[in-house]
Amino acid sequence: MPVNRILRKALALLGGMGALAAAHVGAQPMPQLGKIEFENDQLTVVRMHMAPHERTPMHDIPSPRLVIWLTDAHLKDTEADGSVSAYERPAGSSDWITPRRHVGENLSDQDLDFLAIIPKLGSAAGLHMAPPH
Cβ–Cβ < 8 Å for 80, 101? yes
Q: What pLDDT is attached to residue 119? A: 94
What's at 41, amino acid-wise? D
In order of their start, the domains of the chain are: 3-120 (2.60.120.10)
Amino acid at 4: N
Q: What is the pLDDT of residues 60-112, one digit of tens each?
A: 999 999 999 999 999 999 999 999 999 999 999 999 999 999 999 999 999 99
Q: Could you tell me which residue, 27 or 77, shows the higher pLDDT?
A: 77
**Residue 94, pLDDT score:** 97
Name the residue with higher pLDDT: 34 or 5: 34
| 24, pLDDT greater than 80 | no
Please name which of 50, 44, 48, 51 lies closest in space to residue 34, comparing C-alpha atoms: 48
